[in-house]
Amino acid sequence: MTKGTSISEFLKQGKSLFSLEFFPPKNDAGGKRMLSTAEILKPFNPDFVSITYGAGGGTRKTTMHYAKILKQEFGFEVMPHLTCVGHTKKELLEILEDFSKEGFCNIMALRGDPPQGETTFQAVKGGLSYANELVALIREYFPHFGIGVGGYPEKHPEAPDKLTDLHHLKEKVDAGADFITTQLFFENKAYFSFLQECKDTGITVPVLPGLLPALSLGQIQRFCKMCDASLPEKLANELINAEESAQPKIGAKWAKEQVEELLNKGAPGFHLYALNQSASSLKILNGLRKQGS
């Protein structure tokens, strides 16, 4: 992807896209690990990398700090994430202004999760309640940004049912989102059904599948519980029967096979939740390279 282009423009060209997701590290050691992962995966030329935005005051600086390093030192097209958590509309506009001044031209617009210990999301006074409001804000004040939003093949955990969730997803697209990146899923049929459901709801923007290479049974059990994603029995059994040290290899093989099928059946590309670790992503990308995917 040419640097400085919007991801939606790239997706319109119909070329298969590959992207990686990092998260802002909590300390220097984590920072070193993240940057070393970026160095190791750079030769695979991701079309863009994204960096998440966590809850709490520190994230504003940390996301920006690492987004700049990934852009300036590694030359990646970087899409910072932004959430509504704890911010007023005025603060969100300031953060967007900073991203714009630094030359970022794509944003992943999210509501965010309720802060730890709280079960429901509460907007701060003068803040935003849902991601569609953030998308609308970006479109109004920073129309040049490409905007991605989150989509949930197996339904967002808070949504009462799939149809309601899809209706809210359409509101994000109608507000100006250019593309959707999905929550993790381990069975491709969840993605393909979601695509059809999006189409039936009138959502026509590209849907980029988001994939997490499992590192251990415990890890994906936690993730699946958190996001209401299904854990296929076959994958669970393979992990149960393997030594702990062999589990990442099983997770990477599973994710690689998911990518192969997704691309063969016309997905616009894939987004890897790399979790600031290189080993599994390396296995997947080397495996795909060998097979010329």
Ligand X SMILES: Cc1cc2nc3c(=O)[nH]c(=O)nc-3n(C[C@H](O)[C@H](O)[C@H](O)COP(=O)(O)OP(=O)(O)OC[C@H]3O[C@@H](n4cnc5c(N)ncnc54)[C@H](O)[C@@H]3O)c2cc1C
60 forms part of the interface with ligand X (CB under 6 A): no
Among 17, 110, 239, 275, binds ligand X (CB under 6 A): 110
Considering the complex, state which of residue 62 and residue 132 has its C-beta at the smaller distance from ligand X.
132
User: How far is the C-alpha of 66 from the C-alpha of 34, rounded, in Å?
Assistant: 9
- Least separation in angstroms between residue 26's CB and ligand X is 14
| Residue 21 is a catalytic residue | yes
- Cβ-Cβ contacts under 8 Å for 224 (sequence gap 6 or more): 186, 230, 231
Considering the complex, state which of residue 83 and residue 188 has its C-beta at the smaller distance from ligand X.
83
Q: Which residues face 179 on adjacent strands?
A: 148
- The amino acid sitting at 230 is S
Among 9, 91, 102, 158, binds ligand X (CB under 6 A): 158
The stretch among 4-12, 33-41, 97-105, 128-136 that binds ligand X (CB under 6 A) is 128-136
- Least separation in angstroms between residue 265's CB and ligand X is 21
Considering the complex, state which of residue 157 and residue 287 has its C-beta at the smaller distance from ligand X.
157
Residue (of 24, 263, 292, 256) closest to 248 by Cα position: 256
- Least separation in angstroms between residue 110's CB and ligand X is 4
User: How far is the C-alpha of 41 from the C-alpha of 63, rounded, in Å?
Assistant: 19
- Least separation in angstroms between residue 175's CB and ligand X is 10
162 forms part of the interface with ligand X (CB under 6 A): no
Long-range contacts of the stretch 56-65 (C-beta < 8 A, 24+):
56/86, 56/115, 57/86, 59/24, 60/95, 62/24, 62/25, 63/24, 64/95, 64/98, 64/99, 64/102, 65/24
The stretch among 157-165, 191-199, 218-226, 250-258 that binds ligand X (CB under 6 A) is 157-165
* Cβ pair 107, 81 in contact under 8 A: yes
- Least separation in angstroms between residue 47's CB and ligand X is 15
81 forms part of the interface with ligand X (CB under 6 A): yes
Residue (of 118, 137, 124, 138) closest to 85 by Cα position: 124
197 forms part of the interface with ligand X (CB under 6 A): no
Among 7, 38, 79, 131, binds ligand X (CB under 6 A): 131
Considering the complex, state which of residue 37 and residue 52 has its C-beta at the smaller distance from ligand X.
52
- Least separation in angstroms between residue 114's CB and ligand X is 8
The catalytic residue positions are: 21
Site for ligand X, rule CB under 6 A:
52-55, 81, 83, 108, 110-113, 130-132, 150, 156, 158-159, 164-165, 168, 171-172, 181, 183, 210
